[in-house]
Structure 1
Amino acid sequence: MPVRKLWHGTLRKLFNVLPRKRRFAVYRNFVDCNPSPSDRLVLKIADTKEELEACFKLLHDAYVSSGFMTPDPSGMRVTIYHALPTTTTLCAKYDGQVVGTLSLIRESVLGFPLQRIFDLTAVRAKKGNIAEVSALAVHRKFRRTGGSILFPLMKFMYDYCHTFFDTRHIVIAVNPRHIEMYESLLFFQRLTQNVVENYDFVNGAPAVGATLDLRAADAIFEKHYASKPPKRNLHAFFFQLKLDNIQLPQRRFYTTNDPVLTPELLNHFFNVRTNVFAELSDRKKCLLHTIYDLPAYQAVLPAVEESGQDETGRRRHRRFSVRCPAKFVITSPDGVENKISLEIIQLSRYGFQAHALVPVPIGVWGEITIQLGPAETSQIKVSASRESEGGGYGFRLGEPDLIWRKFVNALYSGSTHADLEDATRFMTDR
Structure 2
Amino acid sequence: MSGSEPNGLERRRTVRIKRSNLLDLRLDDLDRPAIKIAETQDEYEQSFRLVHDTYLRMGYLKEPQPHGMLFSVYSLLPETVLFIAKSYLTVVSTLTEIFDTEAFGLPMDIIYKPELDTLRAQGRRVVELSALVTPPKLRWRNLFMLLAQVMYHYSVYRGVDDLCIAVNPKHVSFYKTILLFEDFGPERHYPRVDAPAVALRVDMHHIADRLKAVYDSKDLDCNLYLYFHRMTGLLPQYPEKTPIPVKAGAASDQQDVAAPFMNGRKAQIAHHFFQLYPSLWEGLSPSQKDFLTSHYPTLAENTLSS
Q: Sort the TM-score into its range (normalised by shorter chain).
A: 0.7 to 0.9
- 1:179 aligns with 172
Q: Superposed, which structure 2 residues align to 1:63-212 within 5 Å?
A: 63-70=55-62, 71-108=64-101, 109-118=103-112, 119-124=115-120, 127-145=123-141, 147=142, 149-163=143-157, 165-192=158-185, 194-196=186-188, 198-202=189-193, 204-212=194-202
Amino acid at match of 2:228: F
Describe the superposition over 1:48-93 as per-residue Cα deviations: whole angstroms up to 9, x where unpaired: 0111111111111111111222321211111010121021111111
Alignment of 1:29 onto 2:18: yes
Aligned-partner residue type, residue 119 of structure 2 = V
| Aligned with residue 56 of structure 1, among 42, 48, 61 | 48
In 2 relative to 1, CA 72–208 (structure 1 residues): closer, same or farther, beyond 3 Å?
same
Deviation at residue 214 of structure 1 after TM alignment:
1.4
Query: In terms of Rg, which structure is larger?
Result: 1
Q: Counterpart of 1:47 in 2: which secondary structure?
A: coil
Counterpart in the other structure of 1:297: 299
C-alpha change, 1:65 and 1:212, in structure 2 (3 Å) is same
Distance 1:241 1:95, change over 3 A: farther
Q: Structure 1 residues 230, 242: closer, same or farther in 2, change over 3 A?
A: farther
Checking the alignment, whether the CA contact within 8 Å between 2:35 and 2:147 is kept in structure 1 is yes
One-letter code aligned to 2:178: L
For 1:86, the aligned partner's letter is E
Q: Which runs of 5+ in 1 are unaligned?
A: 1-17, 244-252, 304-430
Distance 1:21 1:300 in 2: 59
Alignment of 1:388-403 (within 5 A): none
SS in 1 for 2:92: strand
- Specify the code of the residue in structure 2 equivalent to 1:50: D
| Residue of structure 1 equivalent to 2:283 | 280
1:204-224: CA deviation from partner (whole Å, max 9, x where unpaired): 211000110112111111111
Compute the displacement of 1:123 (Å).
3.1
Q: Distance in 2 between matches of 1:28 and 1:276?
A: 45
Aligned counterpart in structure 2 of residue 235 of structure 1, from 220, 225, 233: 225
Deviation, 1:289, is: 2.4
Name the % identity: 28
**Taking structure 1 as reference, are residues 36 and 82 closer, same or farther at Cα in structure 2, changes over 3 Å only?**
closer
Flag the 1:127–1:254 CA change in 2: closer, same or farther, 3 A. Answer: closer
Instruction: Quote the residue 2:274 is aligned against.
Output: 270
SS at match of 1:144: helix
TM-score normalized by the length of structure 2: 0.78
* Equivalent of residue 207 in structure 2, options 209, 213, 217: 217
Greater share of helix residues, 1 or 2?
A: 2
Q: Which residues of structure 2 form unaligned runs of 5+?
A: 1-6, 234-252
Q: For 1:52 and 1:300, how far apart are their aligned partners in 2?
A: 24
* Residues 353-364 of structure 1 mapped to structure 2, 5 A cutoff: none
With over 3 angstroms needed to count, the CA separation of the structure-2 counterparts of 1:238 and 1:211, relative to structure 1, is same
Cα shift at 1:114: 0.7
**What does 1:369-408 correspond to in 2, within 5 Å?**
none
**Cα distance in 2 between the residues matched to 1:20 and 1:275:** 50
Moved more, 90-99 or 72-81: 90-99
Contact 1:31–1:231 at 8 Å: present in 2 too? no
CA-CA distance at 1:277 after TM superposition: 2.1
Cα distance in 1 between the residues matched to 2:257 and 2:124? 16
When you count strand as a share of all residues, which structure comes out higher?
A: 1
Kindly report the root-mean-square deviation, in angstroms, between the aligned alpha carbons of the 2 structures. Answer: 2.8
Give per-residue Cα distances to partners, 1:114-161, cap 9 Å, x unaligned.
12211224434555311111111112221133x2x0111100110111
Q: Is the 8 A contact 1:270 1:277 kept in 2?
A: yes
Give the match's secondary structure for 1:292: helix
Instruction: Using the TM superposition, give the Cα deviation of residue 182 of structure 1 relative to its aligned residue in structure 2, in angstroms.
Output: 0.6
Other-structure match for 1:376: none
Q: Which amino acid aligns with 1:27?
A: R
CA distance in 1, matches of 2:117, 2:281: 32
Question: 1:263, CA displacement in angstroms?
Answer: 4.1
Contact 2:274/2:304 (<8 A) preserved: no
CA contact (8 A) 2:18 2:221 kept: no
Code of the residue aligned with 1:110 in structure 2: it is F
